[in-house]
Every structure is written in structure tokens, then in C-alpha cells.
Structure 1
Amino acid sequence: MDDQISSTTEDQKYLQQAGDKLAPDVFTEEVSEFSDCKNFDFDDILDLAGGAKDAIERHRSEDQLMDIQNVQIINSPEKEEAHEEVKAPSSQLWDLLYWRDIQKTACVFGGTLSLLISLSLLSIISVCSYMALALLSITICFRIYRGITDALQKSENTHPFKVYLEQDVTLPADVIHKHGDVLLKHINATINEMKHLFLVEDLIDSLKLAVLLWVLTYVGSVFNGLTLLIIGEVAAFTCPILYENHKTQIDHYYGLVNSHLQDIVKKIQAKIHGVKNKAE
């Protein structure tokens, strides 16, 4: 009996301490009910101890959940920044293609188009030589002009390209490794796709490639590679803005053509599967 009473007092002290530290509202109510009750037995003490244990575990689980949420909140800005860094080059490309900055897009479009036209008219050696000679002539003339003006004004003779000469233009190794890994991933994916197509892993996909190559033979007889590049660049800088301005009509006609092509493909697949079944 004395052992039971002593254990009862110890349990009551434990419940009060746990109630003060972990869940004051829950444990205060339980302890008050426990202290007001005069007639209690050992089973009641066990029930109260079990309730205290459940509350402690619940409180610990809530603390762990709060810690996980805090870690996610702390790490989320870093993930958003990394996501923005990944998206940055693609967003700049789309801004160019959609003519968001007219002056910048015009410079890029005009420069690349002039280069492609020059390559179609002259050899690549001549084009590179003329471009390098023009750039060198501009820099030499500007360097001489700044030297003459500084001498006439009796000012300090400073190099006009000093700012650019002091800049570090070396490529960091981590950037090279990063882009090298991405390039290697695309090369491996391309090799696997070519193996899939040319070794006829799927007959339908291989037939699609055969039709595409057959069409390209006729295209190659009319256009050369540089002409196709010029057409592709003009289309890249004109089609997106045209699609943005006439999206509804283009989507309508595209849906009609796509549904018609899907019907043709389904008919071809059905005939091919019928031939296979007859052969088996």
C-alpha cells in the first residue's frame, strides 16, 4: 500500500512537470481532476500516465513537423533562385523571338541574317577575314583618334579600351563542366534514339523516319543548307509574333490538320497490324 501511494505521488509530480513543459492546457485539466479525486485506484493512475505519454508523443511529432516546415521555408528561396537561374536563358531567348525589346531583337536578327547571307555568297574564310579586318580597322582608328585628341587637349593619355583589357574573360572550369555534362546527356540521348530508329525497335517510328528522310531528299535538291538556315531564322523571328497575334485562327486550322493526320496514321497502323496478324 505504501509503495502504491509513493508511486502515486511520483506520478502526480511527473504529470505536473510534463503539463508545465509540454501541453499546459491538457495536463492542467487532467492533473486537477486527478488531485480532486480522493477515491482512485491503480488503474486510474495507469490511464492518466498513458494519456500523458500520448500527449508527449503528440507534442514531439508537432515539434518535428514545425522543424521540417521551417527547413522548407529556409530552403525554398534557394530553390526559387536556382529555378530562376535555369529559366533565365530560355526567357531571354523567348523575349528575342517575341520582339519584347525591338532594338535588341533587330540587332540580333539583322546581324545573324547578314552573316548567313554573306556565307551563302562568299566562302567562310572570306567572311571571317572580312569581319575580323573590319573590327580591327575600327579599333585601330579609334585608338589613333583618342591618342590625337588627348595630345591636342594635353590631357593624360589613357587607353580607350582599358576597362575591357582589365576584365577577366577566362571561362571558369565549373561552367565548362556544367555545359559539358548537359551536352553529353543530349549526345547520349541522341545515340539511343538513333539506335531505336535505325535498328527498327518500333516499326511505326522507323517508317516515320523513312518518310521524313524521303521528303528531305526533295528539299535538299531545291535548297542547300545555308538557304534552309536563312529560312529557319526568318521563320523563328516571324512565326512566334504572328502566332501571338493570330492565335485563335491558327489553333483552329492546326486542330483540323492534326485530326486528319491522326486518322491517316490510325488507318496505316491498322493495316500494318492486320498484315502482321495474317503473317502470324
Structure 2
Amino acid sequence: MCVETPRVEGAIDAVRARSEHVLAGWLNRQGGTCVSLDDAISYSVLGTGKRLRPVLVYLAGRALGADDDALDAPAAAIEMIHAYSLVHDDLPAMDDDDLRRGRPTVHRAFDEPLAILAGDALQTLAFEALASRPHPRLGAMVTTLARAAGRDGMAAGQAIDLGAVGAPMDLAALQAMHQHKTGALIRAAVRLGALGAVDESDPRVAALDRYASAMGLAFQIHDDVLDVTGDTQTLGKTSGADARRDKPTYPALLGVAQAQNRARDLLNDALDSLEPLGEASQPLAALARFMIDRDH
């Protein structure tokens, strides 16, 4: 099946722009209680980022027939959760990073206490956004996002990551860590989009979950590779940080070439998973290819 690349890329750009507009609507509301907190929140979210997770919400939902209006709230919510996780991951008590998305991290641009509060506020604002529109599957959506962000998802992955610094880790344990820290939110993005259209019992939801599982791991493997092969200016964050912290990564365990091959195998698995969706899955396939071909 031939993919019309400009058309597909145009669709991805359009939903990325829509997600920016929806996020700005939530973050630029008038009447905030604390200006400095609002500024830190906006700084952490607006104007930067690939918006992969909200784009996945829109593309998965569209592939199953959802209207964009039904996808705006979950798309905004998942990007807020992602932004909160980056703010907190960058803190001195966590990864202690100075650069994110090509500019100072929130705790450097403002201060550490305000960064903590900005992350806290983004997490709660995400659920406010998600609950802002009535939806027949709202309960399932809230559960999906909460589980992906919490003790059995992203937070658990970060805790495992922190505990793994300087410690030996085999490939199975590394994969499990990545599936929680990065993969959980990517899977949630795809599921939120699917739930915008159909019930969880629809077999296409399971197909999309297989796609998201493969792509979540491939995305993190490629991130590990870029930390080795990329430069700070292109990445928008400090390159080589994983090796300096003695963190377990796919290149460290397999070497760069084998890690790249593993990401490519996962891409093929993801593309195979999309077959039940037919032509409607073309934008998801294009996004999957971008996720492991990107340079930042």
C-alpha cells in the first residue's frame, strides 16, 4: 500500500497545531492565583516539544472514527502529564539536568520549589482537563491516565531508573523499566484516542495497544542511541548524560548498532499491528517511522 507522504505529514502537522492551540487555551486562562506559578507552568509546556503523545491521541482516535472535539481533552491531559514528568525528572533530586528542549530546565529558569509546584499543578490540571467534557467512556479514560502516570506506570519506571544508576541490569529488566517509564504514557495516549471512539472491547483497541507497546519501547531505545550519537544543540538536552551517570541503556548493553536494529525490529512489529485498521492507520505508521528516524 502506497502512503501519500505529504498528505500524511500534513495530517500530523495539523493535529500537532491543534494540540498546541488546546494546550494554550488551558494554560493561558485568566484569573490565576499566582503569576509566578502560572509562568513556570506555561514555560514548561508551551512553545516547545514534539507533542508526540497528543498527536498519538488524535491519530489513534481518528483511525477509529472519533471526532477531534472528543479528543481535545485527553490530548491536552496527556501532554500535561508528560510535561509534569519532565519538570520533576529534571530536578536535582532526580536527574539533575540543566537543559531541556533547548533551554534551561524549569528549576534553573525559576527555582526548585516553584518547579516542584509547577509539576504538581500540571498533574492535577491534566485530570481537570480530562474531566472537562462529558464522555460515555470518561471513567475508562481517567483510569487509563492515572495508571499510566502512577505507581504501576511512569512513576514506577522513574523509581526503577533512579535505583539502577551504577548497578548491573540485564536486558529483560531494562526493557521492563522502559516499558514503565516511557512506554506506559505512550500506550495511554493511544488508548485514550481509541476510547474517544469505541469501547475497550473493540478488537482494534487491542491492535492499537500492540502498536503502542512496540513503539513505546522503540522510542526509548532510539532516545538511548541519540544520547550517544547526538549533540547537545540538536537534542536540546545534554548529550552523553546517561553514560556520565552510569545509567543502564540499550547501547551500553548491546552496542549502538544492535540497539538500532532492535528499534527497527520493533518498528516492524508496530506496523504489522496496524494491519486490522487498514488505510486509516497510515498517519500512525508515518508517525512510528518518524519516532525512530528523528534526530532529537
Give me the TM-score of the superposition, normalised by structure 2: 0.18
More helix by share: 1
- Greater radius of gyration (CA): 1
Give me the TM-score of the superposition, normalised by structure 1: 0.18
The structure whose RCO (Cα within 8 Å, separation 6+) is larger is 2
